[in-house]
Copies of this chain bind each other. A is one copy, B any other.
């Protein structure tokens, strides 16, 4: 009986941490949507809200880190359980990064207020951010339900994000070459595009954690190969 008591205490603790993860995920999803909306509608107040709210995301990550450390210290989990706890830390870390990128987008929104408008780009960026937010939603669902199929699907969808980024990169180059007044705003818009593409990478990391948790193996070749694009000087899609 002692054994099953320890197991269920561990499960209860882990569930509490997972609840924090889901809350953190919800906040990050909102941050992505709000940041891209503020960019599209030039809503400085909303951008300011995103920047403010990032604090809550950071605090949740800290809480999760502490709870996980205390869980390990108190329950001395087995190797399998330990893997669960460590994956929680990784997921929280990725969520925190995505939140940072959303905050960065909101900061650039404010900067972009004072620069020439680049037609169309904000709409494309908003669509891209919306896609990433949906991917994140599914990645967190896949995590809670340990749904490997859904997780694998996310790896595929990240390639579409990469393609959206590539298209935007070319578009920005064209704008900048057409008119030097577009150079500064396009540099910022390009950063936003790149950061959104990186958000997609972090969502992919979360999906990979799900696959690892269920199958015990990290997906081989999960990241899109970049050999072609890194040889094309016009393409910005160079993966870190």
Contact = CB atoms under 8 A, between A and B. Distances in A.
Interface of A: 65, 69-70, 72-73, 76-79, 82-83, 86, 89, 93, 97, 100-101, 103-104, 107-108, 110-112, 114-115, 169, 173, 176-177, 180, 183-184, 187-188, 190-191, 194-195, 226, 230-234, 236, 238-240
Copies, count? 2
Given A110-B231, A173-B184, A231-B111, A78 B73 contact: yes
**Chief secondary structure at chain A's binding surface:** helix
A238 B72 contact: no
Contacts of A100: 240
A231 to B, nearest CB: 7
A73 B69 contact: no
B104 A240 contact: yes
A103 B176 contact: no
Contacts of A230: 107, 110-111
Contacts of A111: 230-233, 238
